[in-house]
Structure 1
Amino acid sequence: MRYILVEYAHAQDDDPVRVYSEVDREDLETRRVEFYDNGLWFAYGEEHGGDEALSKAPFPADVRALNVPGEVTARTIPASVFREVWDQAAERPDGFMGMFF
């Protein structure tokens, strides 16, 4: 498994500003947590469901290929960072319901 953080400098209101992804040996996304500027977040995969929202395209072997200077920054992160974000996502209401808690 690889763990990737993609950050968007100028995301639109309906686009995430940070996306944490878990990627398997075939470079396919297996879990993802998205964070938005307005405080909402969404988790996909495993117990959160929504597998259809996971990327169908494989990630590049070198995630730096996703970088666009001043716009998009992609980097590999430690598994422990992804697990911490994933575990926190499991403890909070997500998405739309998160606005009420």
Structure 2
Amino acid sequence: MNITIDVKEMEQYTKVKIVGEIDAYTAPKLRETIFPYAEKKNTKIVIDLSEVSYMDSTGLGVFVGLFKSLNANEGTLQLTGLSERLRRLFDITGLADIMNINSEVEGGV
């Protein structure tokens, strides 16, 4: 149950690459790492989930909180590289209807 979170501040957005599992054990580390970026005005965060092998409801909760924080600060969130399993999780919960989800990883992001 490990997670690696790589954050790079680019000129126009903040790029986050997550590798591993997002669950009750790793979600606090994820929240602690990315929420400070969401508190800035007009921030765009692009999260690459192409190497996330598992996510439970705790992980979904992190993304809902991140999405709300970014919206409150006029920022945006884009999720990329979702596996079919992760995509289905976002579809079933209705989050795919409100979040910007792209199954492809754009421009090497």
TM over 0.5, yes or no? no
More helix by proportion, 1 or 2? 2
Q: Which has the greater radius of gyration?
A: 1
- TM-score, normalised by the number of residues in structure 2: 0.27
Question: Larger relative contact order (C-alpha < 8 A, sep ≥ 6)?
Answer: 1
Structure with the bigger percentage of strand: 2
TM superposition score normalised by structure 1:
0.28
